[in-house]
Structure 1
Amino acid sequence: MTLKLGDLAPDFTADTTQGTLRFHDWLDQSWAILFSHPADFTPVCTTELGSVAALLPEFSARGIKVAALSCNDVKMHQEWLGDIESTSYAHGSKVLYPIIADPTRQIATSFGMLDPDELDAEGAPMACRGVFIFSPDKRLKLSILYPATTGRNFQEILRVIDSLQLTSSHSVATPADWQPGQQCMVQPTLPDAKAHQDLGGFSVVPVPSGKQYLRLTADPSGRAGS
């Protein structure tokens, strides 16, 4: 199964480092992010989970619930926590988010997380480094799949969350390399008159074709540009 943008999040019940988690109940009506990891006690995963522990206040400030998944059981997850929290990536933070156990790969399969090129000692496929972001309606809004050998850029993940939340409530899109507070693009479907009314105006970037489709407007969240 491949989870596509706009799909309803698969529901499941699983053991975690913080007790039983029923995914749809846990999502409730919140933005949420689920990270998948190939295996416990692996080097890149340890740095990533430590980084998320340190950045948890940033996710919380955006109203984002966080959960991780690894294809091992809870007992092994609990043993792993000390290593995660001891690394410099955690910056002294505790892992205050749940790590989901998925030893049967059932959850990883339902989300399309399995990496056929990365196998465990028994020859079973491991989960890739997946990023799944869900909106309050439990629909998938973004997914990024990294191979097991490449650690994630969590500043980029925070950036795309800022874009997703901004564009879900305003008729704008964010251009390449956009950062919060910088100018946005008016969505092509928004007529000029409506853009002036809703966004307070825009400027048109001249292009050789003469088409006036590159319309720039201030970040409607009101944040100062950088």
Structure 2
Amino acid sequence: MSIQLGQLAPDFDQNSTEGRIRFHEWLGDSWGVLFSHPKDFTPVCTTEFAEVGRLKSEWDRRDVKVIGLSIDPVEAHRIWEADIESTQGQQVNFPMLADNDQTVAQLYGMIHPMSDPTVTVRSVFVIDPLKKVRLILTYPPSTGRNFVEILRTIDSLQLTDRRSVATPVNWKPGDPVIVSPKLSDEEASRQFPQGYATLKPYLRIVDLEGGSAGEQPAAA
């Protein structure tokens, strides 16, 4: 099964290190990050689980619930969690799905036969409070995920859901943003009274933090 952006995230009922989880019910009104691992006791994933745990305050600040997945059983997860804490100095403070029957892996297309038909690929799905899939990433086995980038993307999604803007290349919170092309100049002036810079009719920049974003502020 292929998951696409904007699709309703498939619901499921699966065992985890924190008991049985009904996914949509567990998410509630929060954002969610579902990320998978090939199997327990793998080196790159060991570092990733620790990093996700370290970022707990960042997830909480954005109202994001994180949940990991591996196709090993809960008993193996428990042993691996102890290894993660002993080697990385960080407890796993979020649930890990025990998807040993591959229910979730199949729902989310995490099995890529040309890669390895027996284990999940290392996927990331960002899901919004309406249970819609907003971001999909798939990493190769040898490359650790950049969870700072995933946080940055969530910041962008949450901002652009609230405001009629898009975020440019390498954007970080606090940087100027792009006025939505859907807005007329008149409507843009109403929404951004601080002014915005028109670089091209299709490229208008605004600083949401206060001042004008360039040397060519739009006329009121």
TM-score by length of 1: 0.89
Question: Is contact 1:50-1:87 (8 Å) kept?
Answer: no
Unpaired segments ≥5 residues, structure 1: 206-210
Identify the structure with the greater strand proportion: 1
Q: Secondary structure at the match of 1:87?
A: helix
| Structure 2 CA distance for aligned equivalents of residues 69 and 199 of structure 1 | 42
Unpaired segments ≥5 residues, structure 2: 214-220
Q: CA deviation at 1:175?
A: 0.3
**Mapping of 1:30-109 within 5 angstroms?**
30-88=30-88, 92-109=89-106
TM-score by length of 2: 0.91
The one-letter code matched in structure 1 to 2:38 is P
Question: Is contact 2:84-2:90 (8 Å) kept?
Answer: no
The range that moved more, 152-161 or 211-220, is 211-220
**Quick one: percent identity of the two aligned structures?**
47
- 1:213 maps to 2:202: yes
- Count of matched residue positions in the alignment of Structure 1 and Structure 2: 210
Q: Deviation digits for residues 131-180 of structure 1, max 9, x if unmatched?
A: 10111100101111112222101111111010010001110000000000
Q: Secondary structure at the match of 1:68?
A: strand
The one-letter code matched in structure 2 to 1:142 is L
- 1:111 maps to 2:77: no
Question: Is contact 2:69-2:98 (8 Å) kept?
Answer: yes
- 1:160 maps to 2:149: no
Question: Is contact 1:117-1:125 (8 Å) kept?
Answer: no
| Structure 2 CA distance for aligned equivalents of residues 72 and 217 of structure 1 | 48
Match of 1:189 in 2: 182
Q: Deviation digits for residues 62-107 of structure 1, max 9, x if unmatched?
A: 110110001111110011001111233xxx3321100001112221
Q: CA deviation at 1:193?
A: 1.1
| Structure 2 CA distance for aligned equivalents of residues 219 and 141 of structure 1 | 23
| Structure 2 CA distance for aligned equivalents of residues 87 and 62 of structure 1 | 28
| Structure 2 CA distance for aligned equivalents of residues 104 and 20 of structure 1 | 14
Runs of 4 or more above 2 Å deviation: 115-119
